[in-house]
Amino acid sequence: MDEEEFLMLMQRYVANLAISGSTLRNQGAAGVIEAARQFLAELPLNTFLDIHPGDYPGVLNQWTEELRIQLPLGAQRWGAARKALNVFLVQVFLNRYLGDHYGLNEFGEVLETPLDSKATGRLRNMAEHGVLPRWNGIINLTAEVSQQYQDFATEYAGEIGLPRACLDILLWPDEE
């Protein structure tokens, strides 16, 4: 097996692990998980070799829209697409094979923290009252609300000395 074939298999493997039934549950239509996994398994990770970390937000916005329209009708929501991408890309960043090969180690500060009710609840508890907006679920997540949470996540990650890409490790619930 050559390296490229192995990396494609690894990417599919990470997509299947990252997008579980709980990652995108209750999104309004059947087939959301399968559509997200397929999209992420084919995402051109070599893009990271050609861009500067400062260009990442634009790439992420483009991929969010591309994934959103690939989701089944009734589930084509910005929040679901963004969460799937963020969960997957953080896992790619943490994966030795994919992260090293595609140069993601330079993107730790710009990769977004995946948002869900658990992560946003913990972020809201860390923030001063009223700093972060009320969480209305992935279905209702907008780019503006996401940005407010990401800005706070960046600030908090900086305070504790972690790249924002690793913050999800701290926000993950101790028990379900």
Q: Over the stretch 95-111, which tens digit does the pLDDT of each residue have? A: 999 999 999 989 999 99
pLDDT on residue 174 = 66
Model pTM score: 0.92
Residue 76 has phi, psi (to 5 degrees) of -80, 70
- CA–CA separation, 64 and 128 (whole Å): 30
- Residue from 57, 82, 89, 80 nearest 165 by CA: 89
Mean pLDDT of the chain: 92
Q: Over the stretch 107-123, which tens digit does the pLDDT of each residue have? A: 999 999 999 999 999 99
Instruction: Burial-class residue 125 by CB neighbours within 10 Å (0-12, 13-18, 19+).
Output: exposed
Measured at the CA of 31, the angle between CA 117 and CA 63, to 5 degrees, comes to: 70
pLDDT on residue 24 = 80
Q: Which SS3 state, helix, strand or coil, does residue 173 take?
A: coil
pLDDT on residue 172 = 79
pLDDT on residue 28 = 72
